[in-house]
Amino acid sequence: MLRVRELTGFYGASQALFGMELSVDAGEVVTLMGRNGMGKTTTVHAIMGVLPSRRGVIEFDGHRLDQLPSFRIARLGLGLVPEGRQIFPNLSVRENLVAASANRGERPAPWTLDRVFGLFPRLAERQKNGGNQLSGGEQQMLAIGRALMTNPKLLVLDEATEGLAPLIREEIWSCLRQLKAEGQSILVIDKNVGALIGLADRHHIVEKGRVVWSGTSQALAGDSVLQHRYLGV
């Protein structure tokens, strides 16, 4: 579904990605792991078209993304839950969701306001609140809900559990498990190896702008040296 090959990316003159390779197949949950500053978010930005200088091949669902503007990429079915959530603070919870709603891929049972509220009952209670009046966990739920409202073929989560209380974090993981069970393809960027091994099918470990290891959950779980070396656990 998503295939990234020989991706390089720059911030001005300094290179951040050195031949990134990664893939996600339909129905899979795949991770991108690694320490801070290794290029995970940059990779996401390159895929979503918000990193202006990128080179390489990014294919999604039969389309080349590497030449497309950001809004076209999103319209092809990539839904991003960005790092730092980035809720629209001047829109209410409901407006945040309705603004994003679309079913461009003509999905048979699309995500609707009611379904998102079913997944996150907290959002239903706070639907009239402004985006700037939510707790961190609620903002994260809203960010996920907003991405789901675009009915993405591939949901991309960038540090979705960062800075959340353990209980809320668990709520997010359980929501992702539920999405996976429904067949949603997901690309997750996170540092929580334990939770990711249980959730994802395959993993990519990133170091200094390239993938240094990729494999299944089973392989990762059995290799504590690998975990120690690249993920610092």
Partner 1 sequence: MAELLPALRTPRGVVTALLLLLLAVLPLLTQAFDQRYLLSVGTRIVIWSIAAASLNMILGYGGLVSFGHAAFLGIGGYAVGILSAEGFASGWLQWPVAIAVAVAWGTLIGALSLRTRGVYFIMITLAFAQLVYYLSSGLAAYGGDDGLNISRSRFPGLIDLRDKASFYWLCFVLLCATLWFCSRLVHSRFGYVLRGAKSNELRMTALGFPVFRYRLVAFALAGGFGALAGILLANDGAYVSPAMMSWVKSGDLIVIVVLGGIGALFGPLYGAIAFFAVEEFLPPLLNLMHRGWGEYWQIVFGPLLVIIALYARGGLDSLLGRRHG
Rounded least distance, CB 98 to partner 1, Å? 6
CA 85/CA 9 separation, integer angstroms: 23
100 belongs to the binding site for partner 1 (CB under 8 A): yes
Q: Which of 68, 98, 124, 212 binds partner 1 (CB under 8 A)?
A: 98
Rounded least distance, CB 199 to partner 1, Å? 24
8 A C-beta contact, residue 204 and residue 216? no
Cα 220 to Cα 36, 110, 209, 213, 217: the distances in Å are: 19, 34, 20, 9, 5
Rounded least distance, CB 80 to partner 1, Å? 6
Rounded least distance, CB 96 to partner 1, Å? 8
Of the two residues 130 and 215, which places its CB atom closer to partner 1 in the complex?
A: 130
Task: Provide, for the chain, the percentages of residues in helix, strand and coil under a 3-state DSSP scheme, each rounded to the nearest 5.
Answer: 40, 30, 35
CB burial of 156-170 (b: ≥16 within 10 Å; e: otherwise) equals bbbbbbbebeeebbe
The residues in 35-64 that bind partner 1, with binding defined as CB under 8 A, are: 48-50
Enter the tokens of residue 167.
């209980």
150 belongs to the binding site for partner 1 (CB under 8 A): yes
Site string for partner 1, 108-127 (x = CB under 8 A): --------------------
184 belongs to the binding site for partner 1 (CB under 8 A): no
Q: Find, among 180, 179, 199, 181, the residue nearest to 189 by Cα.
A: 199
96 belongs to the binding site for partner 1 (CB under 8 A): yes
Rounded least distance, CB 111 to partner 1, Å? 13
146 belongs to the binding site for partner 1 (CB under 8 A): yes
Tell me the three state secondary structure of residue 129: coil
DSSP state of 40: H
The dihedral sign for the CA sequence 183, 122, 103, 40: negative
Q: Which of 2, 24, 30, 80 binds partner 1 (CB under 8 A)?
A: 80
Q: Which stretch binds partner 1 (CB under 8 A): 26-34, 83-91, 105-113, 115-123?
A: 83-91
Please give the size of the binding site for partner 1, defined by CB under 8 A: 29
Q: Which of 3, 5, 35, 75 binds partner 1 (CB under 8 A)?
A: 75
Cα 132 to Cα 2, 85, 87: the distances in Å are: 33, 11, 8
Q: Residue numbers of the site for partner 1 (CB under 8 A)? A: 48-50, 69-71, 73-75, 80, 82, 86, 88-92, 95-96, 98-102, 104, 128, 130, 146, 150
